[in-house]
Amino acid sequence: MERLTIAIDGPAGAGKSTVARRVAQRLGYLYIDTGAMYRALTLAAQRRGVSPHDEDALAKLARALTIAFAPDGDGQRVLLNGEDVTDAIRTPAVTADVSYVARHPLVREAMVEKQRELAKNGGVVMDGRDIGTYVLPKADVKIYLTASIDERALRRQREMEARGYRVDLETVKEEIAKRDRLDSERAVAPLQKAEDARLLDTTGMTVDEVVEEILAACRTRGREGE
């Protein structure tokens, strides 16, 4: 069977990583979390004292880094130059800086090159903000996942609590809204629904329901009316 390229975009907490990982498992495809790649770069910059506003230094760092994914049970580990940084890239400090790091054109150029290389053989599910619009514009299936801001904040709060962070719902909501604004308003490859992407509002839907809808879209190759 043909090995498809599947692009999933959307705002923070829409369920992209959870759903993309499950779809990839069901199809036996590779899952590529591009948000984790920007987070890994942000962590590397923080460790070296590189400012999130220093585009040239960040782009140089991005070109020099090796970011890889290793399967791990139901999920996957993120490796930065061979070091397991899966947990280190999810701290509030990385989350606070990542959208500033990701808005520089030269940084994106370096990261997109790595992402296209990872996806070049098909059989991939890639999630992020600009996958359907910019990284993989010819993807066979494009999904734009969203949910209400209240629902997304609740989901993120539960996730943070499961990882041992106590966070107030209003604070999470503000953090998400700020990041969405930065991601949507940046000049290069902003968060935007691709014209040919299928819009899926997951408010009130379970993960299983969302996964099934995406698999159905894959069966019809994402084209409306088929």
List of residues contacting ligand CDP (CB under 6 A): 10, 12-19, 34-36, 38-39, 98-99, 102, 128-131, 155, 159, 179, 183, 202, 205-207, 210
Taking CB atoms, the residue at the shortest distance from ligand CDP is 35
Runs of H (alpha helix) within the chain: 16-27, 34-48, 55-64, 92-101, 105-119, 149-162, 169-185, 207-219
Q: Which is nearer to ligand CDP, 128 or 222 (CB)?
A: 128
Six-digit token string for 26: 């069901």
**Is 17 among the annotated ligand-binding positions?**
yes
3-state secondary structure of 144: strand
Q: Which is nearer to ligand CDP, 92 or 223 (CB)?
A: 92
Q: Are 193 and 144 in contact (CB under 8 A)?
A: yes
* Residue 191 half-sphere exposure toward CB, CA atoms < 13 A: 25
**Is 148 among the annotated ligand-binding positions?**
no
**Least CB distance from residue 218 to ligand CDP, whole Å?**
18
Q: Which is nearer to ligand CDP, 16 or 198 (CB)?
A: 16
**Least CB distance from residue 10 to ligand CDP, whole Å?**
6
DSSP state of 90: G
Binding residues for ATP: 10-18
